[in-house]
Chain A
Amino acid sequence: MNLTYKQPGRLLAVLLTGLVLALPWGQANAQHDIRGITGDTFNLYAFPFSMNLPEGSSLQMWGFGDIDAGAGATHAEGDGYNLPQYPGPTLVVTEDVPVTINLTNSGVPQPVSIVVTGHNVNAACTMPENLCSDGLLTKAANVGEKVTYTFTPTEPGTYIYHSMDGSNPGLHVEMGLLGVLIVRPSDASRTAYGNDTGTDYEQEFLSLLTEVDPEIHLQMERGHVTHFTNSDRFAKVWFVNGRVFPDLFQGNYNELFPHQPYESLAQAHPGERVLVRQVNAGQDSHPFHFHGENLRFIGRDGRKLSSDGVVADLGRSDNTINSAPKQAIDAIWTWTGKDLGWDIYGHDTTHVCNAGPDGFGDATSTYPGEYCPDHGKAFPVTLPGTQDLSLGGWWSGSPFLGDNGDLPPGEGGLNPYGGYFFVWHSHAEKELTTFDIFPGGSLGAVVVLPPGTPIE
């Protein structure tokens, strides 16, 4: 039963969207977890590298890399990845399991350290032959030195690890020595904070915001550590998960972006709960705005918003997160199509909707999760002809979920599943540019895919 294509031959540019090749419905309807490395011991190194921006320039960066080359990767696609990266590897750990991070400075010309927000980290120079230094906040590693950091995460949530040292303590974050720490609940539940906390989810995505002032990177590249004054810092490039639009849609571990392994295209089926780990590891605030549906705040800085300490029930519904630097916010976002007023599967004249107790189609329906009160309602307008439209790459040619329509040659192609793209972006609109070029910057998105589309 071929649900996902109206035109079986239209498989345009699958690779560009980073989506997996279509499989018939009935195959594993998998769920997305954040990419990273996992375990209880991480061996990281710090090293400079150059990173490409979409308009052709490159930036000198300092980044953390995984010495173990993805031996602990959460997903097979991360196997073998060992380059210094922006952001640093996302570390996925488990509540109450002690964590060790061994950090070696392989070439960053400043003492590099690691602090983990919300955690009391012990630091030690454990290798007798490798000295380390007393830094500003903790022990630090000059070139050739190594530090061992240990801590035990006791609360599930989202946190930041970053370097902070030297004569300009904010410089290391500016240069890219930052990453995300995710602590999963010890009961192995698919929840943000544990069973019965009201934080269950189907899809998990990271939304990490950073920004840079390229002038600083230029001076670092020339070795001029002091040729700027930090109070003159003025960001001009904005990132989500270390990439800039449109690179951020183009798949994890994409060889086109060797030092930027993470994409930021969220994917969900209608009705699924998406856990968004919204982190700001930069130095400016960003009002991050979610199209498509409101989100529900469930926690800040790794602590659930709770009236009784058990259930995350004090989070309000909102469409914008005022993301402050070094704050981490957890939120749940769900798109259902409820009350749209027209049948989103209008292309399928034979589909049935058997309402469950909540009004949405149950498992016996053609499209589970369809909002049955809107079943059969016609699309309310007549679409103009294609010749009267300006077409974007993500227009499938049809307004219906899972449908493709006729498009002139060369148009579209970035939406083979006929999904609904909703932009998730900074609402400070200048941050949607890269060097004054729109679109750019921190313009990410979520795509709602028809039921049955595999999401991995």
Chain B
Amino acid sequence: MKRSNNMKTTLKLGLLVSTLALAAGPAAAEVYNLCAVQTTKTLPDTSTVPMWGYALDDDGDLSNGCSNPVTIPGPRLTVTTGTLTINLRNDLSEPTSIVIPGLPMPDSGAPGSDGNGPTWNDGTAGLRDPLAVPPQRVRSFGAEAAPAGGIESYSFTVGRPGSFIYHSGTHPQKQVYMGLYGAATKDSAAGEAYPSIGTSPAVTYDNEVVLFYSEIDPDLNNAIAGSSYMTSIHYHPRWFMVNGEPYVDGMADITTGTGGAPLVAGEAVLVRFLSAAGKTHVPVLQGQHMTIHAEDGLQYNYQDGANVVAAAPREQYSAMLPPLKTKDAIVQAPAAGRYAVYDGNGYMTNPTDPEDITVGDEVGGMLRFLAFSEPEPDQDGDGVPDSSDLCPDTPAGEPVNADGCSASQLDSDGDGVSDAVDNCPLIANPGQEDKDGNGVGDACEPPQLTSFWSNGDEVVGATISMFVFGDYFDMATGATQVYVNGIQQFLVQAVTTEMLIVRVTVTSEMIGGPVTVTTSNGSAVSSTNFGDTLPGLQITGVWPSTVTEGVNASVFVFGSEFDLAPGATEVYMNGIRQYFVAVVSPEMLIVRITPTLAMTGPVEVRTPAGGSAFSSTSLVVVPAP
């Protein structure tokens, strides 16, 4: 019987995976339909700023757009296979496209060098024309989705796990600042961010938090939306956001991870840091260190020549994020409480007009609090919280079932012997008898059937007592069932565990089938059939064994089940039929033969019911002198 103390974790991972899938929309979909849409964002000071963002399609048909709301950052894309396909519909008034730094450029399907870009500002794509006037400048890294409803497809090969940023690959100095970015993530397995490499274990996690950093420069966005944009050189962000919103006084702490599972102290929480901000920011974790395992989907490791020896995770309290950087860290809170994630660069205010002396900056910007709750008490440390643990005080190290009980704590059959050492845990056997010493208690052994014998002929109409010999019969009343050719017998008495007596009134349906004995531990079937009381057609002897060619002889054939009916028993000598056969009894017949040399060989008898039988010895015909 297997017990597992991974039950709790397994359940949680299952919950996590399924809720991640729900959050992503189509469960583990590798194809995402997105629309790039103009929108307006309202900021905490009630001002508004134009933005461009991604919306997730709602009905699988991009020709009618996406009626889901735009989110900035864009919808999170979850990848489980090796390919991520994004079908993009462009509802902006200028071309757009998608790239994912860290992954190879996508395939947009069209063959030839023009198909996947780059796309120039004159609208042509592919190799650059060095003679073009005016000179060509790159507009998009890849193929474009045309404005006002154009659709383009991008298939990315996602060859490794990691956290990635998908963003506009068209005039990124405008479009990324306008809000066209989002997270795309891939795990190496469910609940596992990165696989085992070298001598290091895999990076597994119990919960996940995404912290996506970004900025807004309202003047730049207004210039872009109002078509007065010339350059991004004067980019000067004023709003500093985490997951699309600046902190505001009184904002709720982050108490749950992706999918809604609460953050619990002591659990491994995967924090994915991503930044589409234009400035470098340094998230600093208050009060504890985190373990950073990878950046840009590349796991830190150290190597000996070309061989990876082990992972080389970095234990730090700071995670520097230059623009478009991603970092994956495990945070394991040492105790319940609030832990700030603050910006080492100090961008923790929401702006005000410095010329207005009646107002001032308020706390805001890139500040969040992770709030970890107490782990549910688990006094015996068996992985099952006390509120569900039916067996407290589980000894250390013993695996438990979903109820928190280890084998040593359970006595399923109540026989006083705990399941861990009970040789038959589900059937009470306080004496633990095991006469064959195979570790399986006698009470659990399936029955064995060696033979059966009836005290009369097993013929239709007879009422006989059949003795069944074997082992591990269950002596409890009715616990051992006996069947004859499938017909259940009801007058059964178990005399010992090794012998039964069955009172049988023979019917024709019982003839010719085996006897079956069944207990709660299994069944056993006889090797011979009921009604086969005779040993069957056979030759046990031939006399004389030597005859002389041409000299008439009477040969006696001994055996059993010779057929007395006239002509029913045929005799062959070395395959040559003999016709002067007299069946004296089922056990003996006489054959009158005139020997020929060709008759040297085995003797065979055939009957309609018994088939054929050969002698084990040969009759020898010696030549005439």
Bound Cα distance A230, B357 (Å): 14
Which of A90-98, A221-229, A244-252, A344-352 has 4 or more CB atoms under 8 Å from chain B?
A: A221-229
Bound Cα distance A261, B238 (Å): 36
> Would A314 and B237 be within 8 Å (CB), given that A227-B357, A284-B345 are in contact?
no
Residues of B within 8 A of A231 (CB): 236-238, 240, 347, 349, 351
Residues 337-376 of B, flagged 1 when their CB comes within 8 A of A and 0 if not, give: 1001011111111011110010111110101000000000
> DSSP class of A's interface residues: helix, strand, loop or mixed?
loop
Say yes or no: is B314 at the interface (Cβ < 8 Å to chain A): yes
Cβ < 8 Å to B, chain A residues 111-133: 115, 117-121
Which of A42-50, A169-177, A196-204 has 4 or more CB atoms under 8 Å from chain B?
A: A169-177
Say yes or no: is A3 at the interface (Cβ < 8 Å to chain B): no
Bound Cα distance A229, B348 (Å): 11
Least Cβ–Cβ distance between A221 and chain B, in angstroms: 16
Say yes or no: is A269 at the interface (Cβ < 8 Å to chain B): no
Residues of B within 8 A of A284 (CB): 345
Least Cβ–Cβ distance between B242 and chain A, in angstroms: 14
Residues of A within 8 A of B282 (CB): 285, 324-327
Q: Are B347 and A230 in contact (CB under 8 A)?
A: yes
Bound Cα distance A119, B316 (Å): 11
Residues of A within 8 A of B22 (CB): none
> DSSP class of B's interface residues: helix, strand, loop or mixed?
loop
> Would A169 and B346 be within 8 Å (CB), given that A136-B363, A227-B354, A314-B302 are in contact?
yes
Bound Cα distance A322, B322 (Å): 12
Say yes or no: is B433 at the interface (Cβ < 8 Å to chain A): no
Q: Are A228 and B354 in contact (CB under 8 A)?
A: yes
How large, as a class, is the contact surface on chain A?
35 or more
Q: Are A168 and B349 in contact (CB under 8 A)?
A: yes
Bound Cα distance A305, B320 (Å): 17
Q: Nearest CB to that of A225 among chain B residues? A: B360
Least Cβ–Cβ distance between B567 and chain A, in angstroms: 95
Q: Are A169 and B363 in contact (CB under 8 A)?
A: yes
Bound Cα distance A284, B346 (Å): 9
Say yes or no: is B558 at the interface (Cβ < 8 Å to chain A): no
Residues of B within 8 A of A121 (CB): 287
Cβ < 8 Å to A, chain B residues 200-258: 236-238, 240
Say yes or no: is B310 at the interface (Cβ < 8 Å to chain A): yes
Q: Nearest CB to that of A308 among chain B residues? A: B310
Bound Cα distance A171, B342 (Å): 13
Q: Which of A119, A167, A174, A229 contacts B353 (CB 8 A)?
A: A229
Least Cβ–Cβ distance between B472 and chain A, in angstroms: 57
Say yes or no: is A28 at the interface (Cβ < 8 Å to chain B): no
Q: Which of B346, B348, B357, B359 contacts A224 (CB 8 A)?
A: B357
Q: Nearest CB to that of A313 among chain B residues? A: B302
Least Cβ–Cβ distance between B342 and chain A, in angstroms: 7
Q: Are B287 and A167 in contact (CB under 8 A)?
A: no
Q: Nearest CB to that of A326 among chain B residues? A: B344
Residues of B within 8 A of A229 (CB): 238, 349, 351-354, 361
Cβ < 8 Å to A, chain B residues 280-333: 280, 282, 284, 286-289, 302, 309-310, 312, 314-318, 320
Say yes or no: is B335 at the interface (Cβ < 8 Å to chain A): yes
Residues of A within 8 A of B302 (CB): 307, 314
Bound Cα distance A418, B351 (Å): 54
Say yes or no: is B334 at the interface (Cβ < 8 Å to chain A): yes
Bound Cα distance A298, B94 (Å): 50
Residues of B within 8 A of A326 (CB): 282, 284, 317-318, 344
Bound Cα distance A402, B342 (Å): 49
Say yes or no: is A233 at the interface (Cβ < 8 Å to chain B): yes
Say yes or no: is A301 at the interface (Cβ < 8 Å to chain B): yes
Q: Are A301 and B363 in contact (CB under 8 A)?
A: no
Q: Are A167 and B315 in contact (CB under 8 A)?
A: no
Least Cβ–Cβ distance between A202 and chain B, in angstroms: 27
Residue among B352, B354, B362 with the highest chain A CB neighbour number at 10 A = B354
Bound Cα distance A359, B314 (Å): 36
Q: Are B345 and A169 in contact (CB under 8 A)?
A: no
Q: Nearest CB to that of B358 among chain A residues? A: A226
Q: Nearest CB to that of B240 among chain A residues? A: A231
Residue pairs across A and B with Cβ atoms less than 8 A apart, 20 shown, are A120-B287, A120-B334, A136-B363, A168-B349, A168-B363, A170-B343, A227-B360, A229-B349, A230-B349, A231-B349, A233-B346, A283-B345, A283-B346, A300-B314, A300-B316, A301-B289, A302-B289, A303-B315, A326-B282, A327-B344
Known: A230-B349, A230-B351, A325-B346. 6 other contacts (CB 8 A): A117-B318, A137-B342, A226-B359, A229-B354, A283-B345, A284-B345
The 5 A-B residue pairs with the shortest CB-CB distance in the complex, in nearest-first order? A226-B360, A170-B346, A326-B344, A325-B344, A283-B346
